[in-house]
Amino acid sequence: MMWNSVSQRSQLHRRFFASCLLVSSLALSARAQDAVDEVSPAGPYERVVTMGASLTDGFANGMPIATMLDKSIGVEHRHVERVSSNAFFTMPLKIGDQQLRRTLHLEPTCVIAVDFLFWYVYGATGRHIDDLQRYPLDDEESRKRELRALSDAGPENLSRVARLLTLERGLRELEKLRVPMVIGDIPDMTGALPIMLPKHAIPSIDIQKAANERIHAWAKERKDNVLLFPLASRVLAMKQGKMEIPATKSEPAVALEMQVALGRDRLHPSKIGALVFMSELIDELRKFLPGHANVLDFDLRARIAARGLDGVWKSKAAAGAGGERVIGK
């Protein structure tokens, strides 16, 4: 009986020691995997997801941000995922929620959502009110606060209240992300073709200003992992003919007229406008994540040439010297 007892204790000791080794091995393996992730050449560009509306989706120009960015990451990485939708305007609260769920499932290391918030502010006032009521918040106190704000709003400020409440829903979605992300503020799309963007769907300048103040404050509180791309000022530059193909050592900068930078609907960039926009986004990303700036490679003029769009900006340069004006493709 004594021998059996000693033998059993010995076996228990060996099993315990083996278990300790296994736990230690798993821990070391996990730390090793973390180290691999940390030194991945792609860094935050290892698993990028793009989400948002028609600008991100490449509507009207066939040039989604995901496709352009994927070709700009110069090291091995997972294919840039695209969960954006040009139907975002139909159901912003539902589609925004769906996009966040899909994005989180993809476990991104970086998210590009430049126009994600656009339709949380744009669109008919009635649609905002209907959506807020159709998709109530889970939190009872927050739900009551929304309904109270809507019921207290008078005819003169109902549009403002409804749109800003919807914007808060969009920001709530973005708060679910814990990785570097790029968002944009709200541009003024007055002047877009009414068939694409009816006048009643365009928020007033006052509402746009209030929405942008909120977005800027939200981004500032999260500046360590949120890059606020100045979409409003970039669209204004496009509309004023101030979007530029930057100068090189051998060639001067070229400003693109609105008809060149914007498509025929005056709502989405043309092909060349999309390329210049992407170049500007890449520049901002390099500043935002300087430790991985060399991962991104985007030669704007080479991209323009590859698309057969050289004639657009070269003819524009010639126009400055007395040539004919050329409308963008």
Q: Could you please report the per-residue DSSP string of 8-29?
A: HHHHHHHHHHHHHHHHHHHHHH
What is each CA distance from 173 to 52, 117, 243, 269, 272, in whole angstroms? 12, 10, 31, 26, 32
Q: Which residue has the tokens 């930078």?
A: 261
pLDDT at 152: 96
pLDDT at 219: 98
Average pLDDT over residues 134-153: 94
Per-residue pLDDT band at 271 (split at 50, 70, 90): very high
pLDDT tens column, 166-185: 999 999 999 999 999 999 99
Looking at beta carbons, which pairs linking 321-326 to residues 24 or more positions away fall under 8 Å? 325/257, 326/260
Average pLDDT over residues 24-53: 68
pLDDT(318) > 90: no
Strands 81-82 and 110-113 come out as unpaired
Q: Which residue has the tokens 């969960």?
A: 83
CATH architecture of 42-231+271-297: 3-Layer(aba) Sandwich (3.40)
Question: What's the rounded Cα separation, in Å, for the pair 184 and 141?
Answer: 29
pLDDT at 328: 39
Nearest to 317 by CA among 303, 304, 299: 304
Both structure tokens of 135: 């998709």
pLDDT at 30: 44
In this predicted structure, which of 7-21, 78-92, 238-252 has the lowest mean pLDDT? 7-21
Residue 303: CB partners within 8 Å, gap ≥ 6? 68, 275, 278, 279
pLDDT(297) > 80: yes
Does 6 or 223 have the greater pLDDT score?
223
The neighbouring-strand residues paired with 181 are: 111, 226
Per-residue pLDDT band at 39 (split at 50, 70, 90): low
pLDDT(127) > 90: yes
Q: What is the pTM of this model?
A: 0.84
pLDDT(117) > 70: yes
What is each CA distance from 312 to 55, 201, 262, in whole angstroms? 21, 32, 13
User: What percentage of the chain has pLDDT greater than the value 70?
Assistant: 83
pLDDT(262) > 50: yes
Average pLDDT over residues 68-78: 97
Does 32 or 289 have the greater pLDDT score?
289
User: What percentage of the chain has pLDDT greater than the value 90?
Assistant: 80
In this predicted structure, which of 38-52, 159-173, 204-218, 235-249 has the lowest mean pLDDT? 38-52
Quick one: three-class SS letters along the chain? CHHHHHHHHHHHHHHHHHHHHHHHHHHHHHHHHHHHHHCCCCHHHCCEEECCCHHHHCCCCCCCHHHHHHCCECCCCCCCEECCCCCHHHCHHHHHHHHHHHHHHCCCCEEEECCCCHHHHCCCHHHHHHHHHHCCCCCHHHHHHHHHHHHHCCCCCHHHHHHHHHHHHHHHHHCCCCCCEEEECCCCCCCCCCCCCCHHHCCCHHHHHHHHHHHHHHHHHCCCCEEEECHHHHHHHHHCCCEEECCCCCCCCEEECHHHHECCCCCCECHHHHHHHHHHHHHHHHHHCHHHHHHECCCHHHHHHHCCCHHHHHHHHHHCCCCCCCCCC
Average pLDDT over residues 19-27: 44
Domain ranges for the chain, please list them.
Answer: 42-231+271-297
Provide the CB-side half-sphere exposure for 218 (13 A, CA): 22
Helix (H) or strand (E) holding 254: strand 254-256
Does 5 or 152 have the greater pLDDT score?
152
pLDDT tens column, 184-238: 999 999 999 999 999 999 999 999 999 999 999 999 999 999 999 999 999 999 9
Average pLDDT over residues 59-66: 97
pLDDT(11) > 90: no
pLDDT at 174: 98
